[in-house]
Amino acid sequence: MIFARSWIVIGAAIPLLAASVLISIGLAPAATPERAAPLATDGPAAARPWIRYGGWPNRDTSKFNSLSTMVSPPPPKAPRTITTPLAGDPIAGQKLVADRTRGGSCIACHVMGPAGGADLPGNVGPDLSEIGTAGRDDEWLFNYIYDARVYNPATVMPPWGTHGLLSDSEIGDIVAFLKTLTRPAPFKSELDDPSRRPIPREQRDNLDPMINPAVWAVEERAPALWKSPGPGGAACVSCHAAPEQAFKTWAAAMPRWEPRLGKVLGVEEFVARHAKATTGHDWLMESEENIALSTYLRYLANGALINVDGESAPAKATYERGEALSTRKIGALNFSCADCHSGDKGAQKWIRGQWLGELRGQLDHFPTWRTSQQSIWDIRKRFQWCQVAIWADDLPPDASEYGDLELYLAAQNAGQKLSVPGIRH
Amino acid sequence: MTNKPRIKVPDQIRKGEIIQIKTLVAHDMENGLRRDQAGKVIPRKIINRFTCSFNGKPVFACDLEPALAANPYFVFSVRVDESGLFNFTWTDDDGT
């Protein structure tokens, strides 16, 4: 049984008049050098071997690029020559364009009229409802599906043939189906038309504990952990008695280059390594304790503007590495971050029923409650899911590649106000 | 139970006013139909009853069923004629 009580008082509300005068005298300490926070620098900050979260797809994508390895097969140098007409089956092709067992299906990015048979088509790629009247021959259609890079090196289309996702005969079936598409798509509703589908806007009050369960971690779990002594008897509170004051802006300048580790340190990895060095707690990244404290530290900086160091020499090098990683094509579907989230490619468009946002606006609310997952996700877990979703291998959350990427992302979000924990679907 | 229940009631009201009370409690509401990774049924554990009384008199109560989602949230209205104390109880399957 859980009990709760609440007093209520009848009476006219009395306006409270209060006047206060605050005088503060600031004495700058005479050139105190900033003391580097202790960090446990040896060993990883996350579980090893890293095992993908339960319930996530476990397909083998090791023969494709990841953020740490480059192993994908190269694009073909020339189109395959097709001399005799392809004898594909348009009925089988119609099934294949909506088949989501090999990536998101063609419908995820292309409108294909009612024939595609799937709701909520996307618009990352062009509308193919009339491709059958476009005068394209079998060879061109076949090669565009097999590996569109032979015609357009900058394409975001997955290389279905080169990466072995579709066989030659399946591509032939899809070509046969495409040739049957000759009329503009009629849409059943506004929702079905990606050019008219309303753009999702998050309007829930993310800081209301009645709405966002992640706030509970900030209000209850994190303050309890703050006081919980480690094996040596020390707790966070032993050194940081007034975290609300001390960490008003701290998290807004994270992640940052950390010379002692030779990589970029985010809030989550900092919590793991600093807690280990000072209290002895093993609060590895992605543990419940780590997520609660990392959410809390970013929450304390709410209202502060994201302002990471991208100017010092190592930070600049990091930024450049992050930028390069954000354009690296990875996974069986061969997408880079930029393919979906940069304005000149897929951003501000629909992939299936999901709206692709730009990089700016993707960090201010992390860690965030995810109603679809009923849990708090930090930015590293979000990175990991992006990769698994495009059929690429994820990395451990403390991987230096994620640090580079997080710094680059934070720089794209400079000046945005932190509002943590967020709430998203 | 790590999280305390959350309740929203106005601080001060006029006599006879009808007020809205919102309550939220953190609970898994395990419905007893799901299986764990080993295929074993996870036993049912839900809050099966919620009550609210004002100065000892019941004002709202309900039974909860397994189909309810996690973290039950209630909003109800009460007319208040006197100052006093609201008591809320959430009863779990195992009495905790």
**HEC letters along A103-152:** CCCHHHCCCCCHHHCCCCCCCCCCCCCCHHHCCCCHHHHHHHHHHHHHCC
At residue B3, does pLDDT exceed 70?
no
CB contacts, 8 Å: B13 with chain A: 8, 10
Q: Provide the token pair at A79.
A: 């189109």
CB contacts, 8 Å: A7 with chain B: 83-86
CB contacts, 8 Å: B4 with chain A: 4, 220
How large is the average pLDDT for residues A235-241? 96
At residue A364, does pLDDT exceed 70?
yes
pTM for the whole thing?
Answer: 0.87
* pLDDT tens per residue across span A251-265: 999 999 999 999 999
The verdict on residue B15 lying in a domain is yes
C-alpha distance from A214 to closest chain B C-alpha (Å): 11
At residue B35, does pLDDT exceed 80?
yes
How many contacts (CB atoms, under 8 Å) link A and B?
77
The verdict on residue B11 lying in a domain is yes
B32 close contact with A: CB closer than 8 A: no
pLDDT at A17: 32
C-alpha distance from A277 to closest chain B C-alpha (Å): 27
The verdict on residue B19 lying in a domain is yes
Q: How confident is the model at residue A232 (pLDDT cuts 50, 70, 90)?
A: confident
* pLDDT tens per residue across span A292-309: 999 999 999 999 999 999
The verdict on residue B77 lying in a domain is yes
How large is the average pLDDT for residues A347-358? 93
At residue A369, does pLDDT exceed 70?
yes
Q: How confident is the model at residue A218 (pLDDT cuts 50, 70, 90)?
A: very high
CB contacts, 8 Å: B55 with chain A: none
pLDDT at A157: 96
pLDDT at A32: 43
Q: Are residues B87 and A8, on separate chains, in Cβ contact within 8 Å?
A: no
Which amino acid would we find at residue A22? L
The verdict on residue B1 lying in a domain is no
The verdict on residue B54 lying in a domain is yes
How large is the average pLDDT for residues A233-244? 95
How large is the average pLDDT for residues A162-170? 96
pLDDT at A310: 83
B9 close contact with A: CB closer than 8 A: yes
| Angle ∠(A259,A265,A266) on CA atoms, nearest 5 | 160
Share of chain A above pLDDT 90, in %: 79
Q: Are residues A6 and B4, on separate chains, in Cβ contact within 8 Å?
A: no
The verdict on residue B56 lying in a domain is yes
Interface test with A, best of B6, B73, B78 (most A CBs within 10 A): B6
* pLDDT tens per residue across span A59-70: 999 999 999 999
The CATH number of residue B64's host domain is 2.60.40.10
Question: Which residue of B6, B86, B89 is in closest CB contact with A209?
Answer: B6
At residue A167, does pLDDT exceed 60?
yes
Q: A413-416: long-range contacts (C-beta < 8 A, 24 or more apart)?
A: A413/A306, A413/A359, A413/A360, A413/A361, A413/A362, A413/A363, A413/A364, A414/A305, A414/A306, A414/A307, A414/A308, A415/A305, A415/A306, A415/A307, A416/A305, A416/A306, A416/A360, A416/A361, A416/A363, A416/A364
Q: Are residues A2 and B1, on separate chains, in Cβ contact within 8 Å?
A: yes
Q: Residue B75 is part of which domain span?
A: 6-92
pLDDT at B11: 80
* pLDDT tens per residue across span B4-29: 788 988 888 888 899 999 999 888 88
Q: How many domains does chain B contain in total? A: 1
When mean pLDDT is compared across A142-151, A177-186, A219-228, A291-300, the lowest value belongs to A177-186
pLDDT at A117: 64
pLDDT at A18: 34
The verdict on residue B76 lying in a domain is yes
| Domains delineated in chain A | 1-72+207-425 (1.10.760.10), 90-178 (1.10.760.10)
Interface test with B, best of A3, A5, A10 (most B CBs within 10 A): A10
Q: Are residues B89 and A6, on separate chains, in Cβ contact within 8 Å?
A: no
Q: Which residues of A touch B (CB under 8 A)?
A: 1-13, 54, 209-210, 213, 216, 220-221, 374
* pLDDT tens per residue across span A7-56: 666 544 333 333 333 333 434 444 444 578 999 999 999 999 999 998 89
B86 close contact with A: CB closer than 8 A: yes
Question: What ipTM was assigned to the predicted interfaces of this complex?
Answer: 0.76
Contact between residue A248 and residue A13 where contact means Cβ atoms under 8 Å apart = no
A352 Cβ neighbours under 8 A, 6+ residues apart:
A104, A105, A107, A108, A120, A121, A122
Average pLDDT, chain A: 90
When mean pLDDT is compared across A116-125, A303-312, B45-54, the lowest value belongs to A116-125
Q: How confident is the model at residue A103 (pLDDT cuts 50, 70, 90)?
A: confident
